[in-house]
Structure 1
Amino acid sequence: IGIILSLVADIVINIGMNAMKYAHNTNMDDEGRPIKSFFLVPCWWIGMVGILAGEVGNLIAYGYAPASIVTPMGAVGVLTNVIITTYVLGEAFSIMIVFGVILVVGGIVLV
């Protein structure tokens, strides 16, 4: 239960962080200044709620699994971040990113 809860929580945190980045990207004018307050941007609030819910999920996961298992699972956020930033935010994808993700996954497996 703890491992699954941690994995889901880390993915939710990452979705929330990327939702906030999307809100920042879409709320900027040509000179890089915010168009309106981020408190008025719904996507920003979705991101904030996602981060908070994910952190609560991680906190609960520590009750079901040892910290030595739950903590490395946070690295799964790296994998989900690559997927989200590449396909949703349109950021560049390179061979170094692939190499980094392979190292992260290998580290999780070793732990």
Structure 2
Amino acid sequence: MGVSENTKGLILAMASSAFIGASFILKKKGLKSAAAAGTRAGVGGYTYLLEPLWWAGMITMIVGEVANFVAYVYAPAVLVTPLGALSIIVSAVLAHFLLKERITKMGIVGCLTCIVGSVVIVIHAPQEHSLNSVEEIWVLATQTAFLIYVAVTISLVLVLVLHFEPQYGQTNILVYLGICSLMGSLTVVSIKAIGIAIKLTLEGVSQIAYPQTWFFLTVAIICVVTQLNYLNKHLCFRLWIHSMLQLLPQYIM
């Protein structure tokens, strides 16, 4: 008996989480080295581009994202997306051993909540409705309710980027998290569309000629690049906070 498509998607999504979770640690170690040698990424520095560890983390993340991308081809987004939370568990465990960051009790509770939530959603994930072309995805994506959601999401991202990031980006971690999370919701939709387009094309129903395919690809690239930029700033901000907490006892004494 063959493996179901949902199972394939589940395995790929879990592998993706492992790679992406590990990539955060590698990139943070690279950012730490870069911060010691030059300007921090959080204040506009790009010395991390010269760090091998940062590139190792980037390659690991690419591998994870590719696995995640393929997972969307086989399984519904409602199954694949929640499993991305498992990368948090991988990052927390590796950070404890490799970065010497202590996991607090609330952190443990948060990790357990992620696991329970992911398991519940995976167990009840529905079978995906079969789509025959990118045009069908376009019809779904241009429904009024979804267009309103896109407009609200983009508006919130612009407010965070143009107003809150310059003023509070270096003091409130929620700014970077908000930008990455909001853009991520649009990334999921566009990646799902591209995955289906590739799958149908490989099955003999070419989707290359459809302008919608290239539109979704453009949206995906913009979203991913934006997320990577602010993710680096987010990681650098965490690094700065961690350093300040380590130095705090010296100032108290």
TM class by shorter-chain length? 0.7 to 0.9
Gaps of 5+ in 2: 1-7, 41-45, 122-253
Task: Work out the CA distance in 1 between the residues paired with 2:36 and 2:49.
Answer: 17
Matched with 1:12 is 19
Q: Which residue of the other structure, out of 57, 72, 83, is the alignment partner of 1:62?
A: 72
CA distance in 2, matches of 1:53, 1:37: 23
The AA in structure 2 aligned to 1:44 is W
2:31 is aligned with 1:21: no
1:110 aligns with 2:120: yes
**What are the superposed Cα offsets for residues 42-84 of structure 1, whole Å, 9 maximum, x if unpaired?**
1111011111121111110011111111111101111111101
RMSD: 1.8
* TM-score between the two structures when normalised by the length of structure 1: 0.88
Q: Which of 48, 53, 59 in structure 1 is aligned with 2:63?
A: 53
If asked which structure has higher relative contact order (CA below 8 Å, sep 6+), I would say 1
Matched, 1:37 2:44: no
CA distance in 2, matches of 1:63, 1:94: 37
Q: Which amino acid aligns with 1:53?
A: V
Counterparts of 1:85 and 1:56, CA distance in 2? 23
2: CA distance, partners of 1:110 / 1:29: 43
Q: Which has the larger radius of gyration?
A: 2
For residues 20-63 of structure 1, the C-alpha deviation after alignment (integer angstroms, 9 at most, x for no partner) is 10111133339x746x9222211111011111121111110011
User: Which structure 1 residue ranges, 5 or more long, are not aligned?
Assistant: none
Provide TM-score, normalisation by structure 2.
Answer: 0.41
Within 2, Cα distance between the matches of 1:85 and 1:69?
A: 26
Between the aligned residues of both structures, percent identity stands at: 30
Give, in angstroms, the shift of residue 97 of structure 1.
Answer: 0.8
